[in-house]
Amino acid sequence: MDFELMINSFPKLLNAAVITLKLLSVSLIVGLFIGLLFAILRLNKNIFINKFAYGYSYVFRGTPLLVQIFIIYFGLGQIEYLRSTFLWVILKEPYWCAIIAFALNTGAYTSEILRSAFQTIQPGIIEAGKSLGISNKIIFYKIQIPIAIRQSLPAYGNEIILMMKGTSLASTVTIMDLTGVAKYIISTTFKPIEVFIVAGGIYLFMTFIIHNVIKYLEKKYSFSQ
C-alpha cells in the first residue's frame, strides 16, 4: 500500500469529481425534460406519435451508452452539412457531446419511469378533479404531475445513481472526469489498487449522498395513506 500516493492523488481526484458532478447535473436536468416530453408522447393516443416515443426509448435503452457517445462524438462530425451550421460549435466539444449522449440516454430511462408512474395514477383521482370542474390542463399540471413525480422517486433515484456511474464514460472521449483522472494516475504510477480505493471511495460517497437525499424526499412527499 502506497499511502503517500493515495494522499497525493486525493485532491486531484476531488477536483475531477467536480467535473463528474457538473456532467451529471446538466445531463439530468436536460434528461428530465426529455423524459417528461416522451412520457407524455407515450400516453398520446395517436399510434405514430406513440410508436415514435416507444422507438426512441427502445433504441436508447437497448444499446450501450458507449456506442451512443461514439456516434455523437465521432460519427456526427462526419456529416459535412452539420459542420457548416451553428451546431458544430457544440458538437466539436467533447464535453457537450458527452452531455448530449447522457441526456438522451437518461431521457429514455426517465420517460419509461414517468410513463409507468402516470399509468399507475388511480383514475378516481382524475375523475374527482373533473367532477370538481377543474380544467384538464390544471388537472395535468397540478394533480397528475405531482403524483407521478412522487410515484417515480424511488426508481428515479436509481436512475440518478446509474447515470452517475455512466458519466465515467466521458473519460473515453478525452474528458478528464473522476474516472479519466484515475486512469491517468493508474497508467503513470501502475498502482491500480490505491487509486481505485480513493476514486471508488469518492464515487461511493456521492452514491451515499444521492441515496439519502432521495430517501429524505420520499419521506417528505409520502402520502399519508
Partner 1 sequence: MELLAFGKTGWGDELFIATLMTIAVSITAMLIGFIFALIFTPLKLSKNKFLNIIANCYTTIIRGVPELLVIYLFFFGGSGAVMFVASIFGYNDYIEINAFITGSLAIGIISGAYSTEVFRGAIQSIDKGQFEASKVLGLKKPIHFFKVIMPQMLRLAIPNLSNVWQITLKDTSLISVTGLVEIMRQSYIAAGSTRDPLFFYSFAAILYLLLTFLSMKLINKLELKYSRGY
Cα separation, 173 vs 151, whole angstroms: 36
Contacting range for partner 1; rule: CB under 8 A; set: 8-16, 85-93, 122-130, 163-171: 163-171
- 24/147 with CB nearer partner 1: 24
**Does position 101 bind partner 1 by CB under 8 A?**
no
Amino acid at position 167, single letter: T
Instruction: Give the total of residues touching partner 1 (CB under 8 A).
Output: 40
Reported as half-sphere exposure (CB side, CA atoms, 13 A), residue 174 has a value of 8
Q: How far is 28 from 25, CA to CA, in rounded Å?
A: 5
C-beta closer to partner 1: residue 130 or 215? 215
The answer to the question of residue 123 lying near partner 1 (CB under 8 A) is no
Q: Report in angstroms how near the CB of residue 128 gets to partner 1 at its nearest.
A: 34
Q: Which helix (H) or strand (E) covers residue 24, if one does?
A: helix 3-42
Q: Give yes or no for residue 174 binding partner 1 (CB under 8 A).
A: no
121 binds partner 1 (CB under 8 A): no
Using the rule CB under 8 A, is 166 a contact of partner 1? yes
Please count the other Cβ atoms lying within 10 Å of the Cβ belonging to residue 132.
Answer: 8
Question: What Rg value do the Cα atoms of the chain yield, rounded?
Answer: 21
Return the residues of window 205-224 that contact partner 1 according to CB under 8 A. 207-208
Give percent helix, percent strand, percent coil of the chain, each to the nearest 5. Answer: 85, 0, 15
Which parts of 2-61 interact with partner 1 (CB under 8 A)? Answer: 58-59
Whole-angstrom Cα distance, residue 195 to residue 193?
Answer: 6
Using the minimum distance from each CB to partner 1, give the nearer residue, 90 or 204.
204
CA distances from 96 to 27, 45, 173, 174 (A): 10, 34, 11, 12
Single out the residue of 169, 173, 175, 181 in contact with partner 1 (rule: CB under 8 A): 169
From 43-51, 95-103, 130-138, 160-168, span contacting partner 1 (CB under 8 A): 160-168
Residues in the chain: 225
Site of interaction with partner 1 (CB under 8 A): 58-59, 62-68, 70-71, 74-76, 78-79, 161, 164-169, 171-172, 179, 182-183, 186-187, 190, 192-193, 196, 199-200, 203-204, 207-208
